[in-house]
Chains A and B, each alone.
Chain A
Amino acid sequence: MTDTVLSDQSIPGQSQGLFRVRQITDNVEARPVPSIATEPKLNPPASRAYFFGLMAPAIALLACISLYPFCWLIYMSLHDVEIGSAVWNNFENFTKLASDSRYLNGWWLLIQYSVMCLALQIGIGVFLAVALNGARFEKILVTTLLMPMMMAPIVAGLVWYFLYNGTFGWYHWLLQSVGILGPKSILASTGTALIGIVIVDVWQWTPLITLITLAGLKRVPQDQLEANMVDGASQVRNFFAITLPNLYPVLVIAVMLRFMDNFRFIDSVLALTGGGPGNATKILPVYLFEVSFKFFKLGRGAAIALTLLVVTIILGMILVRVFDRQQTRKA
């Protein structure tokens, strides 16, 4: 392949439009010597015992604080547990769940609750992050925004309980005077109570999403945004084509954190409604709490907890898988 060849050998009839197409004439004599290297004998890999030795203390600690209780959980889920006694009951704890309408309803409510919380938090959180990114006083604004997150969930629940209150709640008064609400508190009617607890969760945890997204936004490659802009993209299109795909990994993490919290944290729900009115906000973890610690059906509670755990793990694994794929695509 030489320059003279390149510039002179345009092939007639093959030129495509504006571009010349040249033939690449490989210089055969110039090819390198064929490789004669044979497969090497590989050096032994680093010793595994050494690694296990290093990890042993951590593994031991983990075994004590989580493996042991976990085994107990499984044990209890298979027995009728009273304080001081446990009787094997042929998987009855599990089989009965299938016909327990409050258990099934708990799942259904949990799904609604989680999906609403996640959708709103991600939507509002990302919007806020984009609006705040690079804004004047960004640091101060973000700090202010983080306030709700620093509050203990139980306190948040109580604060909102009063804000929602039908007789003297400020928000209730506000919403009622604009005509959105009737005279009843949002938490008092079965139709709106779930919305009520979603709002509190969104209020408290949207800042977390904003914070994570802001960190993600700082890492969106500026040069790609610029290239896409010159290529002819509008701001909006640029956001969806470049910014958002670059945010996916952090959003996956955010979703993972938040859905796990929704599956675990019931402080604010207990403070706001305690699962009521009726069973309107009795999402599964609240029901689990009731079964175990109000009715003291520890075996049944363990079975519910186990199903919740399994679903959490499966969803978590799916999200980790998605995250991994995002990472490999990026790398």
Chain B
Amino acid sequence: MAKVSFRSVWKKYGELAAVKDLNIECADGTFLSILGPSGCGKSSTMRMIAGLEHISAGDILFDDQRINDMAPRDRDVAMVFENYALYPHKTVFENMANPLKLRGQSTDRIRERVNAAANLLEIGQLLRRRPQELSGGQKQRVAIGRAIVREPKLFLFDEPIAHLDAKLRAHMRGEIKHMQRTLGTTMIYVTHDQLEAMSMADLIAVMHDGELQQLGTPREVYNQPVNAWVAGFVGEPAMNFLTCEVQARRDDVLLTHSNFALPLLPQQVQRLNGHAAGPVRMGVRPDGLSITMRKPSEPVITGEIFVNELLGGDMIVDVQLADARIRVKTAPEFEGVPGEACYVTVNREKWHAFDVENGRAFF
């Protein structure tokens, strides 16, 4: 168990900077998820922690001990590799037993731990097989098994369930999270799937192009994204963005668009911080909007239903405005059909405004 700290960590491959000035404090026992699109430097970060990649600049600390120059085996971490990295000439059992064997555990203990892990991962019947006789998802589970047979200081999971089917993935999300809670081991979990990060992590580090965008709890990242990029990346279906104007009128400050003009809440006016007029990007998630077929009394956006998608328990309605299209989340009972006029109300508690230039969030 360990606290993990990144102090201005850089990773450079020649000229290319894959990780730029990364600063993260991850308390002992935290489930930290590193979230970002492909190629943003997630795996590079993991590999630096594991000791497989030289740390170009800065320090990584475990419990205040600098580990930059420590050999991988002395770091006491367990890693699930993105590409499984199983040993093809060993059986599944031997693959999973390897970390224990290398650390001189007794045969009984090895058998007990491997069987327990195999049960958890539902691969008990595969223990005799070799990796080439397994499907991608099974391999991935073996790779997870190899990591969890031990009780290391730190778990490093690099997209460990990306190749499982949706149902098994949902199941594994729960299992991994439960396992981490029970063991209380610090976990760094890389994923490009925002749902995975949101549902599992205590702390999410959102990365883009090697740079840390936001470090916060899932709630913070979802409800108070620091910039438009994070806001757009996190959340499914994605946030709606409309370019609006800020206009002061009498005692109100309005956010205007060709389809609507809605007043900001007082605390939001404050957060605009002098940005009294001019364009901003308004962002609102589909669940911050609601849709009706009858015109309500409050101020609304009028539009026309473009298409609606039923997603089991929810319905997503695409609404065509004069010059934009937005998505609204509503109940599956919604009876509107494409082509009809509809009315969208905004929950102004839940909308965001971003700087048009640098994407920074005002609120």
Contacts and interface: CB of A to CB of B under 8 A. Distances in A.
Interface of A: 1, 3, 6-7, 16-21, 24, 221, 223-224, 226-234, 237, 242, 245, 329-331
Interface centre among B50, B83, B88, by most chain A C-beta atoms within 10 angstroms, is B88
A-B CB proximity, top 7 nearest: A223-B85, A227-B85, A232-B102, A231-B99, A229-B72, A19-B120, A16-B116
A217 to B, nearest CB: 17
Given A3-B174, A19-B117, A224-B86, 10 more contacts: A3-B171, A7-B174, A16-B116, A24-B122, A224-B85, A226-B50, A227-B87, A230-B72, A234-B73, A329-B89
B305 interface: no
Contacts of B102: 228, 231-233, 237
Contacts of A221: 85
Given A230-B77, A231-B146, A234-B73, A1 B167 contact: yes
Contact of A6 (B89, B119, B174): B174
14 contacts: A19-B117, A20-B120, A20-B175, A20-B178, A223-B83, A226-B50, A226-B52, A227-B146, A229-B52, A230-B50, A230-B73, A231-B73, A231-B102, A330-B89
A232 B171 CA distance: 29
B177 to A, nearest CB: 10
Given A227-B85, A227-B87, A230-B77, A19 B99 contact: no
Contact of A17 (B71, B116, B122, B178): B116
Given A6-B174, A230-B52, A231-B146, A18 B73 contact: no
Interface string B44-83: 0000001110000000000000000001110001110101
Contact of A18 (B87, B115, B122, B182): B182
A252 to B, nearest CB: 15
A3 B165 CA distance: 13
A2 B169 CA distance: 12
B310 interface: no
Contacts of B116: 16-19
Given A18-B179, A24-B122, A229 B85 contact: no
Contacts of A233: 73, 102
Contact of A223 (B81, B103, B112, B174): B81
Contacts of B73: 229-234
B8 interface: no
Contacts of B98: 228, 231
A224 to B, nearest CB: 6
B132 interface: yes
A168 to B, nearest CB: 52
A128 to B, nearest CB: 25
The interface size bin for chain B is 35 or more
Main secondary structure of the interface of B (DSSP, over half): helix
Contacts of B115: 16
A18 to B, nearest CB: 5
A247 to B, nearest CB: 12
B99 A226 contact: no
A274 B163 CA distance: 66
Interface string B245-260: 0000000000000000
Given A19-B116, A232-B99, A227 B79 contact: yes
B122 A16 contact: no
Given A3-B170, A3-B174, A230 B89 contact: no
A122 B112 CA distance: 41
Contacts of A223: 81, 83, 85
B183 interface: yes
Interface string B160-173: 00000001001100
B51 to A, nearest CB: 7
Contacts of B77: 230
B170 to A, nearest CB: 5
A18 B78 contact: no
Nearest to A229: B72
B147 to A, nearest CB: 9
A120 to B, nearest CB: 27
Nearest to B168: A1
Contacts of A234: 71, 73
A242 B167 contact: no
A234 B73 CA distance: 7
A228 B182 contact: no
A19 B72 contact: no
A317 B27 CA distance: 61
Nearest to A24: B122
Given A228-B87, A229-B52, A21 B81 contact: no
B131 to A, nearest CB: 10
Interface in B101-135: 102-103, 112, 115-117, 119-120, 122, 132
B24 to A, nearest CB: 20
Contacts of A1: 167, 171
A330 B183 CA distance: 36
Interface string B213-232: 00000000000000000000
